[in-house]
Structure 1
Amino acid sequence: MSSIDPSPAPAAEATIPRRALSPCDQDAARTLWEEYAEAHPVAASANPGFLVDQFGDHAELADELLELVLTGRKTSTASLLAEYVWEGETPPGIGAHTVFCDGHGAPRAIVRTIGLALARFYDVDAEHAWAEGEGDRSLAHWRTEHRRFWERVCTAAGRSFSTDMEVLMERFDVVWAAP
């Protein structure tokens, strides 16, 4: 059963030229991971694998969000759980490490997942929105921008966004940053 969306859909976005994400440099990501593992062997051996990923769906957004992570303002992120299914991927678990690359594909930071929770779009709370560190950090901003983002993501995947979709809220710590 679908719930009624109490807010209007965001206004259509102006067509803004956006630079496509460059693929992550897997060799450089492995090198960054090896540097971390050498400096922190216990932490790395407790969770020996790592993911390689980027924030957003275009290079400018990836760079903007990664900068928020590197400055400590962004300590959480959110994904549609359905995206993992569409892409045949497994969501991260507690303790998982992810090497995040910038919009050019260069690895810049390693984060460790420290918390996970699921909620429907309108059940995501103000605390999570604040921890994501984006815009004015308000829940209203989070809803507007994430809805826009997920509408683009769903459209690109040949799907339709619904506020009934489950959102995977992930809290993380930066454990290593590229020099």
Structure 2
Amino acid sequence: MQSQSTSVINMLNAFRLENPEVVQDIPVWHFCDNEIDANDCGELVLSGDKQATSPSLWGIERRKEPMPQVGDLDLITNWQGEALAIIQTKSVKLVAFNKISQAYAFKEGEGDKSLTYWKEVHWLYYQRELAPFDMEPTTEMPIVCIEFEVIFKL
């Protein structure tokens, strides 16, 4: 988890003021593993083009992260840790890499939104994601397909 910037604290306070019934902790994170992609994906979320994200199940398990659940809230930042939006998970499905659909790639909203683009950039990401665990991606590996919607932004 990132240290909380003033913008993160302000967004969390504003969200809780409007939603006092929400008592759960809200994780704070950015997409991707590099500045350019993290900032691009953050902007795609704000524009409404990005409505899904896809970590590998193997990466989640090796990092000992909780499995995403429908209803989860997350505060998304840019690479610099500035708050962008709070998203809510709407759907979580395990799908083999080689079974990802064009419709799902479109929901990810990246590049030209094609399945070809999705496979190219995500394969490279999964290689980097799994490298610390001395693992390589496979075409059959399970991908955690998370669909979300923006529920709050300042």
TM-score by length of 2: 0.91
Matches within 5 A, 1:1-179: 24-26=2-4, 28=6, 29-42=8-21, 44-45=22-23, 48-177=24-153, 179=154
Deviations 1:60-83 (A, max 9, x none): 110000100000011111110111
Question: Residues of 1 paired with 2:5 and 2:80: CA distance?
Answer: 14
How far residue 27 of structure 1 moved from its aligned partner, in angstroms, is 5.3
Q: Which runs of 5+ in 2 are unaligned?
A: none
Deviations 1:141-170 (A, max 9, x none): 111111111112222443212222110001
How far residue 52 of structure 1 moved from its aligned partner, in angstroms, is 1.6
Question: Residues of 1 paired with 2:40 and 2:91: CA distance?
Answer: 23
Q: Which runs of 5+ in 1 are unaligned?
A: 1-22
Matched to 2:69, the amino acid is: G
Matched to 1:40, the amino acid is: N
How far residue 33 of structure 1 moved from its aligned partner, in angstroms, is 1.9
Greater Cα radius of gyration, structure 1 or 2: 1
SS at structure 1 position matched to 2:55:
strand
TM-score by length of 1: 0.79
CA-atom RMSD in angstroms = 1.6
Contact 1:119/1:168, CA 8 A, preserved across alignment: yes
Question: Residues of 1 paired with 2:142 and 2:13: CA distance?
Answer: 34
Question: Residues of 2 paired with 1:103 and 1:162: CA distance?
Answer: 28
Question: Residues of 2 paired with 1:72 and 1:155: CA distance?
Answer: 31
Contact 1:116/1:170, CA 8 A, preserved across alignment: yes
**Counterpart for residue 7 of structure 1:** none
Matched to 2:118, the amino acid is: W
Question: Residues of 2 paired with 1:34 and 1:159: CA distance?
Answer: 40
